[in-house]
Amino acid sequence: MKKVFAGVLAGVLACSAFSGMVMADELLPGGGSNVIYVITPSTSNPYFKTVQDQATAKGEELGYEVKCVSHDDDAAKQLELFEAAANDHAAAIICDNAGADASIEAVQAAYDAGIPTFLVDREINQEGLAVAQLVADNAQGAQEIAEAWVEAMGFEGKYAELLGLESDTNCQVRSENFHSIIDEYPDFEMVAQQSANWDQTEAYEKTESILQSNPEITGIICGNDTMACGAVQACIDAGRDDIKIIGVDGSDEAAAYIKSGNMVGTALQQIALITTTAVEEADAYLKGTAPEEEKQLIPCVAITAENVDNLSAFVYTEGGAETEAE
């Protein structure tokens, strides 16, 4: 009896120790093909199209075949795409994911299949599954553009906020960090806060209704440029060219509004840089070198009228705009 118990105990201990060994310092081999999968939200948003375009350009430059697909922010569809990539023996996956918690299952599936995943733009709420999580420093970016907005507002005024998809980590981080600056000033008052779910049309409609119910506002802060551009259009149509608007992303459409004076600024997420870095890290990983850190922050750049000429296609170049990297 004692012998049996001791045997079971030894087995359990050995199992625990063995599990620990498997998890540590082992590179995933990839699926065996030369294909990199790029999985993003819908490319109807130019931001995500940039992810696919940059990943394709860099991947092909490094000698890979690159396949791009969209999960449309649907976690179930994302899981299917990860499984399809595994069935296609993908060497690696570059993914702009469909939610911090909802995406864990998909990344786990790739991990279990031995395929390394490199997350760009959005984090997931678990470490140790993705090889890298390269994200824009949304906190820093939101704070910096909020500082510019506070000054443009003359340090006071009533304003509204358009939130993104509330389940998205970036929505919370940006909003929290807008407020970490604005709320320090006693003469600001937020009179409306609504979600427009990252969507331009919804942002237009919400702004239209906010302007009717709160005509005294002089500013609108937006969680992304898509919503900011919707808000700008609604303000133009309502004859309100006095409203100070900011967004986050650094899109060309926002840049055009900054140049025309309809927007104060945006926080550029250097998504082109983030994406090419992810592909380079995937290439290095497949050749045996893992990145030093899983979580990597890429700083945002606050874009205002003073430096907007340096921005083009999500690429910021000190000293003048250049064409997007190929």
Partner 1 sequence: MKKKIALLLAAVMLATGVTGCGIVTVVKIGQEGTLTGETEFDSSQQSGQDWEQVVAEITENAKDLKEVEGDIGSDAVAVSGTAVIKEWNHEQAVKTYIVLDGYENEVVIQTGSVYTGTAVRDLQTLKKFSDFKNQTEWSEYAKSLNKESDSQIVQPLGLSDDVNGKEITFVGGAVKKAGKITITVVSAQIN
Q: Which residues bind partner 1 (CB under 8 A)?
A: 123, 135, 137-140, 143-144, 147, 155, 169, 172-173, 176-177, 180-181, 184-186, 293-297, 299, 301-302, 304, 306-307, 318
SS3 292: coil
Taking the least distance from each CB to partner 1, the nearer of 87 and 180 is 180
Taking the least distance from each CB to partner 1, the nearer of 241 and 293 is 293
Give least dist CB 302 to partner 1, A.
8
Give least dist CB 295 to partner 1, A.
5
Taking the least distance from each CB to partner 1, the nearer of 70 and 170 is 170
Give least dist CB 46 to partner 1, A.
24
Give least dist CB 69 to partner 1, A.
27
Taking the least distance from each CB to partner 1, the nearer of 138 and 224 is 138
3-state secondary structure labels for all residues of 106-166:
HHHHHHHCCCCEEEECCCCCCCCCCCEEEEECHHHHHHHHHHHHHHHCCCCEEEEEEECCC
Per the listing, tokens 């926080």 go with: 267
Give least dist CB 294 to partner 1, A.
7
Give least dist CB 299 to partner 1, A.
8
Taking the least distance from each CB to partner 1, the nearer of 88 and 294 is 294
Angle between helices 200-213 and 225-237 (to 10 degrees): 50
283, 62 in Cβ contact below 8 A?
yes
Give least dist CB 226 to partner 1, A.
21
Taking the least distance from each CB to partner 1, the nearer of 26 and 176 is 176
Give least dist CB 51 to partner 1, A.
19
Taking the least distance from each CB to partner 1, the nearer of 302 and 315 is 302
Task: Copy the structure tokens of residue 279.
Answer: 């592909």
Q: How far are the Cα atoms of 29, 148, 307 from residue 301, in angstroms, in the given order?
A: 36, 12, 10
Taking the least distance from each CB to partner 1, the nearer of 52 and 269 is 269
Cα–Cα dist 10/15, whole Å: 8
Helix, strand, coil % over all residues of the chain, rounded to 5: 45, 20, 35
First to last CA, the chain: 70
Burial of 204 per CB tally in 10 Å (0-12, 13-18, 19+)? buried
35-40 vs 92-95, strand pairing mode: parallel
Cα–Cα dist 184/146, whole Å: 11
